[in-house]
Structure 1
């Protein structure tokens, strides 16, 4: 698929106070892009972490912040009416596969209504490129590995996965009907500094540091394609510059995997953490949780062909960076952020 080169000067980043959103804003600001970040600042996890990320961004020239719930149709429409954007990077969402099993209704406003309002805003403002975060969870279970973009994605095993698949279908329809250039990125197990407290690496490091047991699901017999956040940001920025074009009857949209393409056994991942921390984990082996899948492994051929880049940060290097950040953050704060 061909792609013209877009050089955006003004970009909207939704979920700017979130994990990936924070790193993405930092990178865009480094590149001299004017960034408007929006976030609803929901208390899904310790709000201090979001506040600390936001404080660092607010100190940067070229960054503005607006607290906004994208499920608010009127407020979102007003935002797009008064603010011109060359590109929109839509990362805001209710995260968490396991949380969606227990709290499915939490995903309706953020992941469905929020996406709908962003699509409407991009449509009316004629935004040059919408890049939105999908998830490897859309692949569900049962696909052969590695996972390429043309694998089956209509058998989600969690409502979180279903909401992300719905986002892809919604974006396709807007591209078809209104020629909106849109790229969905299926992200694979993103980790790194400033990560969410509910994520496995954060929970494991906190527990190991405190000499508490860690819960290891499926008795450790899982593989994850752990992808370092810096690589994810690099992929997003490169994709942003290359909006898809309409080709005949095909609308200007695409789906791309973003993963390290190097799956790691969960027990090997824990061993990396133990080495970085200099401590041994007390492992509590448990069965598979509802909504989980045993394996993820990204085929990133299409991403590489489009951008010339494929994530490749070694797991030991990425884990060490997270541990170094975690310990520095806890020293400064006095205690680790809570998961909720």
Structure 2
């Protein structure tokens, strides 16, 4: 693939979303520097396997550093000289944030501060960063739109992500860095994280163990397929915030800054999602129905209208297709 001249630094490149985003950028001819510390939050072998695939592209290079290590991270950034930065590294997981809150302050707050400082001192054309649908917290008006209030987070994970949006806005206003924060909605698909529901459900069903179904199955999620998400991120790199808002825009009146939902816009009941998994696996799940977990919300639904306005694209993969693709990958990767 001939180079397209773009130089993109991606934090969290060994992660689920980072891996797919890097893959798409490399397929389009970008030079990509992946930055990842290969944390042990989940199976490091999975992260190594993703990185091995990225290493097959001549345009890919890797810095095994933590974004919390300002000196090492800064050295990698300045040596690469990115024109675009996609900041995906984070401590993820709503439930883990109840048990290990300090790790979220380090990775999400301090790590993001280092990203913002580097973009301040080594300016880039566009800084994009991952937020989450969890910032909508106690909001109940559906679908969620980017202009709704996000001051009622229900977990520390959501609070740290909301804080990074506020930090980003202040830096964008003070130093003029164009920024886009995207809010993800329940991402799933091949190479997914082992701590996510689809991965855990698949493993348990194949091993003949029951699955834990929270809120007695009365949950609705806007499940977003990973390929759709990566496509949206890459397209948003070209939607650099300027002065002219589009219809329904979240563009700040005082900074080149906006937030954008990336969701499928097709809320799916959890039991329907599990049903698609049962079909793909060819076996029925034993279900252990439980009450709602702390920090969780009963429903999410994204408006993808702004994303479509900015990029001409919106996710549209139905869960039945995406779940089947995940199962095919899981069986192939683990020989199940």
Question: TM-score, with normalisation over the residues of structure 2?
Answer: 0.95
Q: How does 1:14-53 map to 2 (within 5 A)?
A: 14-53=11-50
Give, in angstroms, the shift of residue 77 of structure 1: 2.3
Q: How many residues align?
A: 326
Aligned to 2:293: 289
Q: What are the residue-to-residue correspondences of 1:297-308 with 2, within 5 Å? A: 297-308=301-312
Counterparts of 2:321 and 2:88, CA distance in 1: 25
| Misfit runs of 4+, over 6 Å | none
Is 2:321 the partner of 1:317? yes
Shift of 1:82: 2.4
Describe the SS at the equivalent of 1:106. helix
Q: Which moved more, 1:200-209 or 1:57-66?
A: 57-66
2:144 matches 1:147 = yes
What's the CA shift for 1:78?
Answer: 2.2
Conserved 8 A contact 1:179-1:246 = no
Q: Could you report, residue by residue, the CA deviation over 1:29-63 in whole angstroms, capped at 9, with x for unpaired residues?
A: 10000000010100000111001001111121110
User: How far does residue 79 in structure 1 lie from its aligned partner after superposition?
Assistant: 2.5
Larger deviation, residues 243-252 vs 225-234: 243-252
Structure 2: runs of 5 or more not aligned: 245-251
Partner deviation per Cα, 1:248-285 (whole Å, 9 max, x = no partner):
95210100000000011111110000000000000000
Give yes or no for contact 2:63–2:76 (8 Å, CA) kept in 1: no
Which residue of the other structure, out of 167, 173, 176, is the alignment partner of 1:179? Answer: 176
Alpha-carbon distance, 1:85 to partner = 0.6
Distance 1:193 1:81 in 2: 33
Q: Report the equivalent of 1:130.
A: 127
Moved more, 239-248 or 22-31: 239-248
Within 2, Cα distance between the matches of 1:86 and 1:93? 21
Residue 225 (structure 2) pairs with residue 228 (structure 1): yes
The question of whether the paired residues in 2 share the 8 Å contact of 1:8 and 1:86 is answered with: no
Partner Cα distance (2:107, 2:253) in 1: 31
Q: Which stretch of the first structure deviates more once superposed, 50-59 or 73-82?
A: 73-82
Match of 2:117 in 1: 120
Checking the alignment, whether the CA contact within 8 Å between 1:143 and 1:151 is kept in structure 2 is no
The match for 1:198 among 195, 200, 222 is: 195
What whole-Å deviation, never above 9, does each CA across 1:174-222 have from its counterpart, x for those lacking one? 1100000000000000000000000000000000111100000000000
| Residue in 1 that maps onto 2:248 | none
- Output one character per residue of 1:300-328: Cα deviation in whole Å (capped at 9) or x when no partner: 11111111111000110000000000000
Matched, 1:258 2:255: no
> How far apart, CA to CA, are the structure 1 residues paired with 2:242 and 2:198?
38
Cα deviation for residue 73 of structure 1 reads: 1.6
Mapped partners of 1:46, 1:232: distance in 2: 23
Alpha-carbon distance in 2 for matches of 1:106, 1:8: 36
Deviations 1:287-309 (A, max 9, x none): 00001000000011111111111
Please, which of 52, 57, 60 is the counterpart of residue 55 of structure 1? 52
**RMSD between aligned residues:** 1.2
How many Å separate the matches in 2 of 1:61 and 1:104?
38
Contact residue 8 and residue 87 of structure 1 kept, 8 A: no
Between 1 and 2, higher relative CO (CA 8 Å, sep ≥ 6) is seen in 1
